[in-house]
Amino acid sequence: MDANLAKLILSNGKISYAITDRHLRVIEVSGLAGNEHYADWQGQILPECVPELFGSERKLAEILNGTASHLQLLLVNRDTDDGATAYVTIEVLPHTDKQGQIIGLVYLVQDTTEWGMLEQQVTQQRNELGLLREQLEQQNRQLKAINAELKRLDTLKSQFVSIAAHELRTPLATVFGYLELVLDDRVESLTSLQRQFIETARNGASRLMTITNDLLDTTQIESGQVELFLKPENLSALVETVAAELKPQFNAKNQQIFIKIATDLPLALCDATRTVQILTNLISNASKYTPENGSVTVQVSVADQEGYLLVVVSDTGVGIPPEDQEKLFTRFFRAGTATLTGATGTGLGLHITRNLVELHGGRIWFESQLNQGSTFCFTLPVADDLLSSWSNPDEFSTES
């Protein structure tokens, strides 16, 4: 190789070298790396010039004897004259003559500061990532402990609500029954003012019974204790029944209710009591959140999804703000427009309704525009011919 070319390669690669004889005495030097001034090395013993080689005499002897191929030290850090840190890579190889006999050593040193700095940054980042991983694992453990405690407290809360609701329901039913009895039209001894007071008490008892029942349903849903007794039912008849029961509510606000039922509908596979509860919640809500003189329309038809019936309840009410729509089926949530009509509620009705629909294997969704009304839709499975021929509803009982 041309000597000038060799120097160019060494220079570009930031490589310097020294050559020794078999006694490790330096006989030729070239270049400068770190703080090593090679001009001072001439005639010196190599390990005395390179502190990193102290303790490696045996390895150097093996290279001279041909029993070892080389010695390499990667990313040796050294301080420069200006106080900075430099990195070099050291390699010692056998030096041979033309006959291939080992006549000394070749000491090579390459400036690898850039590589060393990058390696240091990688190591630092790896250490930081390891620390972050430990912190995340610790936080995960803490979160798991907190979640376990929250779950325990939630279970206790559900148990308390269930017990309280059970204890309240019986006396409330008794109070409501006696108030209904007192308000019997055949009782003529009441003055108009007395009747007004008792009606107020009865309505309050009725609201408390509704809240109590909603709380019981919620705790049963959360604990998976809702049992459905499925059998073929005439869904149209259930809609007509609920509409008739809610007629006084519509009359009180001078509202109209329209029932549109498709012909030749198959029977639905559902729990009649829970389906009435679903219909009551949706139709009653439509009335509550529709101003006076408004209207509610209930439609029953075959759904686009094969094997299902579709019920649609639409109103001309206040609508639901877009920012509230994602949270509408969550527990205890009421839309911002809920108070515009003066309607009261616990925010549990739609949460219960959604869960009951899904327990039937159906789905529920809605569309709403502010001040233009809302449309709620839900599906229930069709009872096939085999199920329609069976008469014992217990054979179709299912528990959530």
pLDDT at 86: 86
C-alpha–C-alpha distance, residues 356 and 277, integer Å? 9
Residue 367 · residue 375 · CB < 8 Å: yes
Question: What is the DSSP secondary structure assignment for residue 100, as one 8-state letter?
Answer: S
R_g of the chain, CA atoms, integer Å? 44
DSSP assignments along 288-357, one per residue: HTS-TT-EEEEEEEE-SSTTEEEEEEEE-S----GGGGGGTTSTT---TTTTTTT----S-HHHHHHHHH
Residue 359 · residue 275 · CB < 8 Å: no
- Tokens representing residue 93 in the block: 């190889």
pLDDT at 38: 62
- The residues of the chain scoring below 50 in pLDDT are 1, 33-35, 386, 389-391, 393-395
Residue 373 · residue 319 · CB < 8 Å: yes
pLDDT at 347: 78
Half-sphere exposure (CA, 13 Å, Cβ side) for 23? 5
C-alpha–C-alpha distance, residues 347 and 334, integer Å? 5
Q: What is the phi/psi pair of residue 366, to 5°?
A: -155, 160
DSSP assignments along 231-275, one per residue: EEE-HHHHHHHHHHHTHHHHHHTT-EEEEEE-SSPPPEEE-HHHH
C-alpha–C-alpha distance, residues 62 and 285, integer Å? 93
pLDDT at 78: 81
pLDDT at 213: 75
Report which residue type is found at 325: Q
Sheet holding 15-20, edge to edge: 26-30, 15-20, 102-111, 85-96, 71-79
pLDDT at 26: 92
pLDDT at 33: 45
Encode burial over 314-352: b for 16+ CB neighbours within 10 A, e otherwise.
Answer: bbbbbbbeeebeeebbeeeebbebbeebebebbbbbbbb
Helix, strand, or coil (residue 22): coil
DSSP assignments along 150-188, one per residue: HHHHHHHHHHHHHHHHHHHHHHHHHHHHHHHHHT-TT--
pLDDT at 362: 95
pLDDT at 297: 96
Helix, strand, or coil (residue 365): strand
